[in-house]
């Protein structure tokens, strides 16, 4: 009797599993077909501003200020995103000698030109947490003493050209309207439900939920051992581009980082310190750009879409070197906290484009001003 029951249960579970597998495969197949037909080129090379964008932006700023206040670190107000730094380090950014003439614009106009820069390496979370926790990792570069009028009028940033990235190629929302509803839901603690705004399946953002889950990835072995992407598009002179910074150990002397203790809360800072300060070994990267090919689905107004590398490969425009250095002093860490990176600290030749970048202009300025004033720096 018992044996028959177990056999029956086994068959039932087997059929259930098979049904689930078939359903999963069918769902995946339908998803792939929809993706293929819905997301096809050609696309516009121009920006398109949604009518609700200004109101959405204002609402997002108010929510973001709520978040920084919520995560206040005793007396200091931290960044709303990428609150925890692994360090701010000095860097040299050298334009490639053989850079193609078509890519010589803005700070890349002059081959062999070397810029001095600050690089801030960070975890993406809104408040500091152990480095081993899944998260996005950020890299923000600030080139110094860059001549020419910038896109922001603030004289404090008059000589700066920033590049602001994290280590995933796509963003978990497409545009400002979706960011507003998602961010508001997340601020109420609805982490997964934020992607299912109503009972209507047409509003469900399953693909974006998967992007969010993949963005929160395990920590790399060091902040210099991962690729950082601009995610959103920019101008490079007449071109629309995305950019990324990719490790280029072949440009540096051979070095093997000793294994770090990943249970230490700040092991990514330790890894950076071990390489640059203790072992006195530099770290190397390549700064690369990818040009939009509007014949294919490489949209300006949707940051959840990766531009296909097989259609438009990345081209190296500059080499980045973090020389051996001491960076982990209380003074430098405080100065690092008080820096502001913003994609709009830029020459017109590097203008940020697309809705998410337009949103970032208002939000980064507002949050940076708010936290620096609250911290008594301004
Ligand atoms: C394209 C996608 C994005 C990327 C690659 C990105 C990357 C980063 C990085 C790396 C930082 C840290 C900069 C630093 O080291 O100081 C940062 C800061 C910040 N991000 Fe983003 N971000 C993106 C989108 C957004 C969006 C859509 C918002 C909100 C509207 C946002 C809000 C902020 C804020 C408020 C800060 C702190 C600014 C400050 O206080 O100085 N980011 N972001």
What's the pLDDT tens digit per position in 129-151? 999 999 999 999 999 999 999 99
pLDDT over 90 for what percent of the chain? 88
- 73, pLDDT greater than 80: no
Return the sign of the alpha-carbon dihedral for residues 362, 157, 320, 101.
positive
- Give the model confidence (pLDDT) of 289-312 as tens digits: 999 999 999 999 999 999 999 999
pLDDT of res. 68: 79
Closest CA to 135 of 33, 317, 315, 268: 268
pLDDT of res. 75: 67
- What does pTM read for this prediction? 0.93
Nearest CA to ligand 1 atom 26: 360
Task: Decide if 85 contacts 121 (C-beta within 8 A).
Answer: yes
User: 35 CA to middle of ligand 1, Å?
Assistant: 28
Nearest CA to ligand 1 atom 12: 82
Residue with tokens 């960044």: 79
Q: Which atom of ligand 1 is nearest to the CA of 60?
A: 30
pLDDT band at 248 (very low <50, low <70, confident <90, very high): very high
Nearest CA to ligand 1 atom 11: 82
pLDDT band at 74 (very low <50, low <70, confident <90, very high): low
- 362, pLDDT greater than 70: yes
- Give the model confidence (pLDDT) of 104-137 as tens digits: 999 999 999 999 999 999 999 989 999 999 999 9
**CB-based contacts of 104, cutoff 8 Å, min separation 6:** 110, 111, 237
Residues having CB closer than 6 A to ligand 1 are: 60, 64, 79-82, 120, 122, 138, 140, 164-166, 171, 179, 231-232, 303, 340-341, 356, 359-360, 363-364, 367-368, 371
pLDDT of res. 156: 94
- Give the model confidence (pLDDT) of 186-232 as tens digits: 888 899 999 999 999 999 999 999 999 999 999 999 999 999 999 99
Tokens of 3: 């044996």
pLDDT of res. 76: 84
How high is the mean pLDDT of the chain?
95
Q: List the beta bridge partners of residue 243.
A: 289
- 33, pLDDT greater than 90: no
pLDDT of res. 32: 82
pLDDT of res. 19: 95
Q: How long, in residues, is the chain?
A: 378
- As a 3-state breakdown, the chain gives helix, strand, coil percent values, each rounded to 5, of 35, 20, 45
pLDDT band at 65 (very low <50, low <70, confident <90, very high): confident
């Amino acid at each position: 009797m018992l044996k028959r029951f177990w056999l029956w249960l086994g068959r039932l579970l087997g059929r259930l599993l098979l049904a689930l597998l078939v359903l999963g495969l069918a769902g995946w197949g339908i998803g792939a077909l929809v993706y293929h037909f819905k997301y096809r080129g050609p696309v516009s090379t121009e920006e398109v501003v949604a009518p609700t964008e200004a109101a959405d932006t204002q609402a997002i700023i108010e929510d973001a200020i709520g978040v920084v206040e919520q995560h206040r670190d005793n007396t200091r107000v931290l960044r709303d995103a990428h609150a925890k730094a692994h360090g701010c380090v000095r860097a040299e950014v050298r334009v490639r000698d053989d850079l193609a003439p078509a890519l010589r614009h803005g700070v890349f106009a002059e081959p062999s030109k070397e810029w001095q820069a600050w690089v801030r390496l960070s975890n993406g979370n809104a408040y500091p947490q152990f480095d081993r926790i899944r998260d996005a990792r950020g890299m923000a570069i600030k080139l110094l003493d860059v001549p020419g009028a910038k896109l922001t009028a603030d004289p404090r940033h008059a000589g700066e050209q920033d590049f602001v990235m994290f280590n995933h190629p796509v963003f978990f929302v497409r545009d400002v309207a979706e960011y507003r509803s998602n961010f508001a839901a997340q601020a109420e603690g609805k982490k997964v439900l934020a992607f299912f705004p109503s009972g209507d399946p047409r509003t469900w953002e399953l693909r974006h939920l998967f992007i969010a889950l993949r963005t929160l990835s395990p920590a790399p072995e060091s902040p210099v051992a991962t690729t950082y992407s601009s995610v959103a598009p920019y101008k490079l002179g007449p071109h629309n581009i995305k950019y990324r910074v990719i490790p280029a150990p072949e440009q540096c002397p051979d070095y093997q980082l000793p294994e770090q203790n990943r249970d230490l809360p700040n092991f990514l800072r330790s890894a950076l310190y071990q390489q640059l300060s203790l072992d006195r070994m530099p770290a190397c990267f390549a700064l690369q750009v990818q040009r939009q090919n509007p014949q294919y689905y490489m949209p300006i107004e949707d940051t959840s879409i990766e531009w296909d590398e097989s259609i438009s490969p990345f081209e190296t425009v500059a080499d980045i070197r973090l020389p051996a250095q001491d960076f982990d002093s209380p003074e430098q860490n405080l100065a690092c906290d008080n820096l502001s990176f913003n994609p709009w600290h830029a020459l017109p030749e590097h203008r940020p484009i697309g809705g998410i970048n337009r949103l970032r202009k208002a939000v980064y300025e507002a949050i940076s001003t708010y936290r620096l004033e609250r911290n008594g720096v301004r």
